[in-house]
Amino acid sequence: MPYDQELLALPHGPGFRFLEKLSELEPGVSGTGTYTITGEEPFLEGHFPGNPMWPGVIMIEAIAQLGGVIAQSDPAHPALGDMRLTSVKNAKITGTAFPGGTLTIRASVEGRMGTLVQIKGTVSADDMVIAQASVMLSGK
C-alpha cells in the first residue's frame, strides 16, 4: 500500500526530507520508512571530503520526520500545526552509512500529552542499527 499521502504531512522541502518512502504505517502508533543516500546531498561534500558519510544528526532528524508522519496520521487526534522537533534524548550513534546505502527508519509513539508527542526510533543500514534516539515533537 503506498503512503504518498501521509508523506505530505512533512513540512520539509525536498532538500531536507530524509524519508522518501513509507513501507509500514500503523496510524498514530508506529511506522517504517526508507531513505536512499544518493551521494548528491550537498552537505556530503563537506562531511567528509573524499570520504562522505551520513551525519548522525541527520539520522536523528529522520527519526523525527517519521515520528511526525506517525503522529499526524493518528485518527484519535487532530493534526498538529507547526510541528517541530523540540528535544532529543538518549541519542546514540553507533555506526555510519555511505552514499549508495539505504537507511531503514523505524519509529513509534511512546506517549502524547496535549500538543507534545514523544517518539522513539532507530535507523539501520544493512540490517544493523546505527542510530537510536527518543525525540519530542510539539505543535499547535
Q: Is the pLDDT of residue 1 over 60?
A: no
Which grid coordinates belong to 10?
Answer: 512533512
Backbone conformation region of residue 94, classed left if phi is above 0, alpha if psi is from -120 to 50, else beta: alpha
pLDDT of 6 reads: 83
C-alpha 114/C-alpha 93 separation (Å) is 30
Buried b (16+ CB within 10 A) or exposed e, 60-69: bbbbbbbbbb
pLDDT band at 15 (very low <50, low <70, confident <90, very high): confident
Q: Which domain holds residue 69?
A: 4-138
| Position 59 pLDDT exceeds 80 | yes
Return the amino acid letter for 104: T
pLDDT band for position 2 (cuts 50, 70, 90): low
DSSP state of 28: T
Q: Does residue 85 have a pLDDT over 80?
A: yes
CA–CA distance, 22 with 95 (Å, rounded to integer): 23
Whole-angstrom Cα distance, residue 47 to residue 34?
21
Phi, psi values for residue 91, rounded to 5°: -80, 135
Looking up residue 97, the CATH number of its domain turns out to be: 3.10.129.10
Q: Is the pLDDT of residue 84 over 70?
A: yes
Total domains in the chain come to 1
CA dihedral 139, 78, 10, 131 (to 10 degrees): 70
